[in-house]
Chains A and B, each alone.
Chain A
Amino acid sequence: MSSWAALLLKRHPLPWRTSAALILLLALSGCSGGVLDPQGPIGAANAKILLNALGIMLVIVVPTIIAILIFAWWFRASNPRARYRPDFVYSGAIEMVVWGIPILVIMFLGGVIWIGSHDLDPFKPISSPEKPVEVQVVSLDWKWLFIYPEQGVASVNELVVPAGVPVHFSLTSASVMNMFFVPQLGTMIATMNGMVTQLHLAADKPGEFYGQSAQYSGGGFSDMNFTVRAVPRDAFAQWVAGVRQSGSALDRSSYLALCQQSSNVRPFTYRAVDAGLFDAVVNQQLPPCPGPNIERAGATVRPRPER
């Protein structure tokens, strides 16, 4: 289990939080890499709200389930000690409690929802002294294109970002809807043709994270995943410099070739990118790509070697 959960426990030694965290600990013992093992501020905040909301609800759910089991067992017909009260059909006090408790819980939870939705709005920049790195994301059939407009380079199926620096994503799709999701970094967001969505994420430390599409998009969808490599700042500069040295350039015609369907594409990079390419995709100056079609070639399934 990750360190932040331990931190959470230390900071809030409330019994219900302990129990919530314990249940999850049991369920997830020995596992990591999921949304409860966040590696960035957004993912950590999301996960914290998830656990808090779970804790709030467990406070009433656990006693309710226990009461269901106890009542059902005690009042079984074969129990001579249970008192049969067929006329116990109304109680104003109980009515007040059964409406009151859910309403109070939901009011509390409603506050969590309102504040959480605003704090963790995908549009909202991460407050940081660092200037965010700009990344433009285009979901293609069945691969991811990452354009670095400031650096003038691009990569496919591998996202390299500096650790500790916020990243501002602008996202669109070449054809059908997809969803950009790196479980350990947090918030996912849809990519749609002709539209731009915004997202701010950051990685705390250097590391490699699994990224995927979280929206089914046709036959090659299962292979539409990518690696996020968070690297130290200087390593990022070196990576950009290295990318500029090799590979081809991404212009409109090579984009149209790239956006033909293919799956299981090994990561590669472009040394240069046409400046207005992303906007041309969004404004549909570049028409929507032919999109997924299983009848065409390229959708065969090839298991990937171990990462």
Chain B
Amino acid sequence: MFGKLTWDAIPWSQPIPLVAGSVVVLVVLAVLAWVVLKGYLPYLWREWITSVDHKRIGVMYTLLGLVMLLRGFIDAIMMRSQQAIAFRAAGYLPPEHYDQIFSAHGTIMIFFAAMPIIIGLMNFAVPLQLGVRDVAFPTLNSTSFWLTATGALLVNISLVIGEFARTGWLVYPPLSELPYSPGVGVDYYLWALLISGVGTLMTGINFVTTILKIRAPGMSYLRMTIFCWTALAANLLIVAAFPILTATLGMLALDRYLGFHFFTNDAGGNMMMFINLIWTWGHPEVYILVLPAFGIFSEVISTFSGKPLFNYRSMVAATMFICLVSYLVWMHHFFTMGAGADVNAFFGISTSIIAVGTGVKIYNWLFTMYGGRIRFTTPMLWSVGFLVTFTIGGMTGVLLAVPPADFLLHNSLFLVAHFHNVIIAGVIFAAFAGVTYWFPKAFGFKLDEGWGKAAFWLSLLGFYVVFVPLYVAGLLGMTRRLQHYDVAAWRPWVLVAGIGIIIMMAAAACQVVQFVVSIRRREQLRDETGDPWDGRSLEWATASPPPPFNFAVLPNVQGAEPYWGIKQRAIETQQLSAEPRYEPIEMPRNSPTGFITAFFSTLTGFALIWHIWWLVGLGLVAAYAVFVWFAWRDAVEYSIPAEEVARYDRERRRAREQWLAQHAGQPA
């Protein structure tokens, strides 16, 4: 009836996961109870869960990512503290637990923290910057989000029911094959990623279509913001790379479930094929994350320097160059697997060539600041912190691209420090910069600057205190994923890194406090004008928060930085453009399709993990039925009457007129 699932699947004898799991379950239940008792459930269902509005979906993605970031961070704290005490000692985490933690840390951080935050910010900002009402396929967008949430949920269920993979975050075979990992851990990994991977692929298709086909009148490619360009590049990469991930993990699932021999030791399997395939996805994945991050920094640096982005076309070229070359570098992840000198040299050189594109970007940001009038708000601080830190991370990356150097540093803590250097400084700093930058647009009030700046400085300090010692430990020969060690020379560096994680904890606390304080002080932090940062792109041309239809009338784009142009004309003529003729707007109806599909996908995934075959069938049929039911719908859209559109827009125009009056006579 319940396949392999028994009461023993719950780790009764292991206090750490049991207590952690119970606390999480209790917190979730408490939140649910609060929501139900307060009567928020109908509101949540109507306005958020079934919403197909790209802004709402973007907010939910980002929230999911931030929560998972915290979850992955707790894993990081456990790993750092374990290593700090496990010098010639067993520490407090036995290997079977520790190995799950570092596997879960990597999986959660990449797939369920970094990806959702980046996709969330793209969801929120890209249609606004393009000057349109929504993405190409709004209901698909909602389904993408809920399938990602399914993956996150399955990974977290493994905390309390069963176990997670003990194989590292990329489940290298043959260790991840059935003979060597007979438990359900790898299955949790496989189905969480296979299901959320479908969601990510749909996001990719959705955004490529949106950016290529749906833009405001006059918004030619070379008038798009760099964030839209990087989003286009990232989503092209998703469309090309995620099917590889799905196929690779699918083959591993066939090995584990149906006795195939793609990657097994015996019967002609070859684990090197898995490693090649997973990295043909894995390296583009790095750029799927970091290209939109570059886009966010471009927006922030340009806005707060009070200048257009320097060498815009060069920036576009560098972005598309990186997009292309990122497919030619995957083998640098395993120079030490015994390929020949020609192959290693080719991939070493192609990897360092990517640094050209990144270098160009760094210089263009540098010269954007040159001659600017820089306002050091929190997003700008994150960006300057990024510029300095990422340059160092890029340098150590090129160092690892030199095969003879990699022969010494592969899989060492130097490597760990390198990729944290680029992912934290690149993606996580961008996430916080982006969240702070677009928060007033999404919610109508700014985040508190004091707590934001405290979080930035502590994060920056904490980052260096954690990862500089790890660079050194790597040079001293310390390899990654050690549950305990007995080389005395490594000890001091591991201890310093342990102190660093305490600083990072303070930074994380500041982030949380920042949100709480800002929500409590929202009246003082209110953004009335819709343009709190003196922005340049179209998202600032509408109210904060924007109405469901984004723009009362689609903007007519007449150049790069369209909103900056509109503002300049308004200041010159001392009046807003003439009031447009308002017309009713058709918007897509909300739909529970995504949520219900994801609900049944969760059941299917869980059933596959535990071999509950009847539930697998039920879940699949039901998930498919939801799609059929959705395809049969009668009413696709609803209409917002012209009066309501006018009411929204006149309110916004009033605020802008006030702003204009306050700034009368001022030069731009």
Number of interface residues of A (CB under 8 A): 109
A interface footprint on B380-416 (CB within 8 Å = 1, 0 otherwise) = 0000100110011001001101111101111110000
Which residue on B lies nearest to A84, using beta carbons? B373
Tell me the bound Cα distance from A94 to B89 in angstroms.
56
For B434, list chain A residues within 8 Å (CB): none
Tell me the bound Cα distance from A125 to B39 in angstroms.
75
Tell me the bound Cα distance from A53 to B355 in angstroms.
14
B interface footprint on A258-279 (CB within 8 Å = 1, 0 otherwise) = 0000000000000000000000
- Known contacts A218-B180, A303-B484: does B477 contact A210 (CB below 8 Å)? yes
Whether B265 pairs with A193 at a CB distance below 8 angstroms is yes
Whether A214 pairs with B412 at a CB distance below 8 angstroms is yes
Q: Is B11 on the interface with A (CB-CB < 8 A)?
A: no
For B305, list chain A residues within 8 Å (CB): 75
Binds A, one of B135-143, B218-226, B239-247, B310-318: B310-318
3 closest A-B pairs by beta carbon, nearest first, are: A183-B477, A85-B371, A34-B476
Q: Is A151 on the interface with B (CB-CB < 8 A)?
A: no
Q: Is A148 on the interface with B (CB-CB < 8 A)?
A: no
B interface footprint on A109-125 (CB within 8 Å = 1, 0 otherwise) = 11011101111111110
B interface footprint on A269-307 (CB within 8 Å = 1, 0 otherwise) = 000000000000000100110111111000101111011
B→A interface (CB under 8 Å): 88-90, 94-96, 99, 166-168, 172, 174-175, 179-180, 182-183, 265-266, 271-272, 305-312, 314, 334, 336-338, 340-342, 344-345, 348-349, 352-353, 355-356, 359-360, 362-364, 366-367, 369-376, 384, 387-388, 391-392, 395, 398-399, 401-405, 407-412, 468, 471-472, 475-477, 479-487, 489
Whether A306 pairs with B486 at a CB distance below 8 angstroms is yes
For B337, list chain A residues within 8 Å (CB): 190, 192, 197
Whether A301 pairs with B90 at a CB distance below 8 angstroms is yes
Q: Is A241 on the interface with B (CB-CB < 8 A)?
A: no
26 sampled A-B residue pairs with Cβ under 8 A? A53-B402, A68-B366, A69-B388, A72-B387, A76-B376, A85-B372, A86-B307, A88-B370, A89-B312, A94-B311, A99-B360, A117-B348, A124-B341, A186-B408, A187-B407, A188-B408, A212-B477, A213-B479, A214-B336, A219-B96, A221-B481, A221-B482, A288-B266, A292-B180, A294-B96, A299-B95
Whether B307 pairs with A89 at a CB distance below 8 angstroms is yes
A→B interface (CB under 8 Å): 24, 27-28, 31-36, 43, 45-47, 49-50, 53-54, 57-58, 60-61, 64-65, 67-69, 71-72, 75-77, 82-86, 88-91, 94-95, 97-99, 101-103, 106, 109-110, 112-114, 116-124, 175-177, 179, 181, 183-184, 186-190, 192-195, 197-198, 210, 212-222, 284, 287-288, 290-295, 299, 301-304, 306-307
- Known contacts A58-B395, A301-B90: does B407 contact A188 (CB below 8 Å)? yes
Which residue on B lies nearest to A121, using beta carbons? B341
Whether A113 pairs with B401 at a CB distance below 8 angstroms is yes
Question: Which residue in B94, B376, B472 is a CB contact (below 8 Å) of A27?
Answer: B472
Tell me the bound Cα distance from A290 to B407 in angstroms.
29
Whether A33 pairs with B489 at a CB distance below 8 angstroms is yes
Given contacts A76-B376, A120-B403, 4 further A-B pairs with CB under 8 A are: A34-B489, A85-B307, A188-B410, A213-B479
Closest Cβ of chain B to A153, distance in Å, is: 26
Whether A212 pairs with B479 at a CB distance below 8 angstroms is yes
Which residue on A lies nearest to B176, using beta carbons? A176
Which residue on A lies nearest to B401, using beta carbons? A113
Closest Cβ of chain A to B239, distance in Å, is: 28
Question: Which residue in A46, A58, A84, A301 is a CB contact (below 8 Å) of B306?
Answer: A84
Tell me the bound Cα distance from A264 to B373 in angstroms.
62
Tell me the bound Cα distance from A179 to B265 in angstroms.
17
Whether A98 pairs with B336 at a CB distance below 8 angstroms is no
Question: Which residue in B172, B338, B353, B375 is a CB contact (below 8 Å) of A122?
Answer: B338
For A50, list chain B residues within 8 Å (CB): 399, 402, 404-405, 408-409
For B475, list chain A residues within 8 Å (CB): 24, 27-28, 34-36
- Known contacts A120-B403, A219-B96: does B308 contact A89 (CB below 8 Å)? yes
Closest Cβ of chain A to B635, distance in Å, is: 48
Whether A216 pairs with B481 at a CB distance below 8 angstroms is yes
Which residue on B lies nearest to A88, using beta carbons? B371
For B307, list chain A residues within 8 Å (CB): 85-86, 88-89
Tell me the bound Cα distance from A85 to B248 in angstroms.
52
Tell me the bound Cα distance from A183 to B344 in angstroms.
20
For A103, list chain B residues within 8 Å (CB): 356
Which residue on B lies nearest to A215, using beta carbons? B411
Which residue on A lies nearest to B371, using beta carbons? A85
Whether B486 pairs with A77 at a CB distance below 8 angstroms is no
Tell me the bound Cα distance from A45 to B88 in angstroms.
32
For A210, list chain B residues within 8 Å (CB): 477, 487
